[in-house]
């Protein structure tokens, strides 16, 4: 017996469920702590970027948009520093876990970014912090390959700050329509985001 298409409930994808879970923190008293935790975690292992939560918090309190962006930058850079020191001091213990369970982190990715670091250490980190290229690959591998730590921190602060402050500025200027657009077109945006990640790794391969 065929089922009426109108009664079929589409099962949300894992990514959508994670996205909704991230977003729900904006409607609780713990939005700011959640933003700090998520930006910290995304820099080393969490697969969903914190931007949706940043957007929601900025919409709820537009006058605090740049404060939220500063908090996101601080959390992300601290997470990046933690990733750096995991790579520098404990990679022989942690690598099996990261290679097995953390999306985007693989021996092949590390091999590609090592040669990239040999040429453009600052710009490699800056590009990863600003774009959909998995930042966690660069934070962990920067420690593994002993990238100059001050350069790593400066590149991270500039790139993550630019990324989050641009988001905050857009919300401060345009408000809720951007959030509605993200929600309506989430599946298409997910595909586009994935395509950008793949494109980022193709760029890495090309410049090598």
39 with 77: CB under 8 angstroms? no
75 with 36: CB under 8 angstroms? yes
**Within a domain: 79:** yes
Q: What is the pLDDT of residue 170?
A: 80
Q: What is the pLDDT of residue 9?
A: 39
What is residue 10's DSSP assignment?
P
Average pLDDT over residues 127-137: 79
Q: What is the pLDDT of residue 114?
A: 81
Least confident of 16-20, 129-133, 150-154, 169-173: 16-20
Q: What is the pLDDT of residue 8?
A: 38
**Within a domain: 119:** yes
**Within a domain: 11:** no
User: Six-digit token pair at 84?
Assistant: 């750096």
User: Six-digit token pair at 27?
Assistant: 């409607």
**Within a domain: 96:** yes
Domain count, the chain: 1
Average pLDDT over residues 93-105: 83
Residue, of 89 and 208, whose pLDDT is higher: 89
**Within a domain: 8:** no
**Within a domain: 129:** yes
Average pLDDT over residues 126-154: 87
Average pLDDT over residues 15-25: 64
**Within a domain: 3:** no
Residue 27 structural domain: 16-207
Residue, of 71 and 174, whose pLDDT is higher: 71
Task: Report angle CA 47, 116, 131 to the nearest 5 degrees.
Answer: 40
């Amino acid at each position: 017996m065929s089922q009426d298409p109108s009664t079929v409930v589409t099962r949300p994808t894992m990514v959508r469920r994670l996205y909704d879970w991230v977003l729900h923190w904006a409607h609780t008293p713990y939005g700011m702590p959640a933003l700090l935790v998520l930006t910290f975690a995304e820099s080393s292992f969490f697969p969903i970027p914190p931007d949706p939560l940043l957007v929601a918090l900025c919409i709820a309190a537009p006058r605090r948009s740049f404060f939220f962006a500063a908090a996101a930058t601080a959390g992300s850079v601290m997470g990046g520093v933690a990733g750096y020191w995991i790579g520098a001091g404990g990679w022989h213990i942690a690598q099996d876990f990261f290679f097995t369970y953390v999306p985007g982190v693989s021996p092949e990715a590390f091999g590609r970014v090592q040669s990239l670091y040999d040429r453009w250490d600052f710009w490699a980190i800056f590009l990863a912090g600003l774009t959909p290229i998995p930042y966690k690959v660069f934070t962990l591998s920067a420690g593994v390959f002993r990238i100059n730590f001050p350069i790593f921190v400066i590149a991270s602060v500039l790139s993550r700050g630019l990324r989050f402050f641009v988001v905050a500025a857009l919300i401060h200027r345009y408000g809720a329509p951007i959030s509605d657009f993200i929600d309506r077109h989430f599946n298409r945006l997910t595909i586009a985001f994935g395509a950008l990640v793949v494109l980022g790794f193709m760029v890495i391969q090309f410049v090598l």
